[in-house]
Amino acid sequence: MDAADIEKDLSKIHYTEDQILAKLRELAGRIEQDYEGKDLLIVGVLRGAVMVMADLARSFSRHIEMDWMAISSYGSGTKSSGVVRIQKDLDTDITNRHVLIVEDIIDTGLTLSWLVSNLESRKPASLELCTAFVKPDAAKMAVPVKYVGLELPDEFVVGYGLDYAEKYRNLRCVATLAPHVYS
């Protein structure tokens, strides 16, 4: 399979790599201001947030620490099940730490709501959320997201860390997967 084959599976490119990077740099700037004088631990949610973490982290001109959690809610389908399972917990004790959760995308927000209550129970000094992408349903979420990146329609997208059955994560853009691929 070469690059051209991957692109045949996409029906619409929503954001290019440059557009994504520009937005993440803007968010990083806001985060730097808001956490001035404070230690900051950014927590990436595996596996989707790997690319976001890499680009966000390198947009900072200050020290930050990075840790990871792996949780699953989707299986290999295309809609959230609401069933969340920890596959890898943090290595860091976040008690009294300033923590920023970094997500790839928020759709129903079920995963994130669960994660927030889980991390809140560990008594961090502060806990905020950052996401590279949001879908329309995220507006109904109970937990507020402080740093929101780019908006997407209510379609199943892939790329920039987002997978379909573990593939397409390595695309540089974010695109809607053509229905013929999964139907």
Positions marked catalytic: 107
The DSSP H or E segment spanning 103 is: strand 98-106
Binding partner at 9 among ligand 5GP, Mg ion, none, C-beta below 5 to 8 Å by kind? none
DSSP string, 116-145: HHHHHTT--SEEEEEEEEE-GGGGG-SS--
C-alpha to C-alpha distance for 39 and 56, rounded to whole angstroms: 16
- Tell me the angle at which helices 50-57 and 17-34 cross, rounded to the nearest 10 degrees: 60
Shortest Å distance, C-beta 140 to ligand 5GP? 11
Binding partner of 157, given ligand 5GP, Mg ion, none, CB within 5-8 angstroms per partner class? ligand 5GP
Binding mask 143-162 for ligand 5GP (x = CB under 6 A): -------------xxx---x
> Which residue from 10, 42, 109, 173 is in contact with ligand 5GP, where contact means CB under 6 A?
109
Q: Report the interface residues with ligand 5GP, using CB under 6 A.
A: 48, 73-74, 80, 103-112, 156-158, 162-164
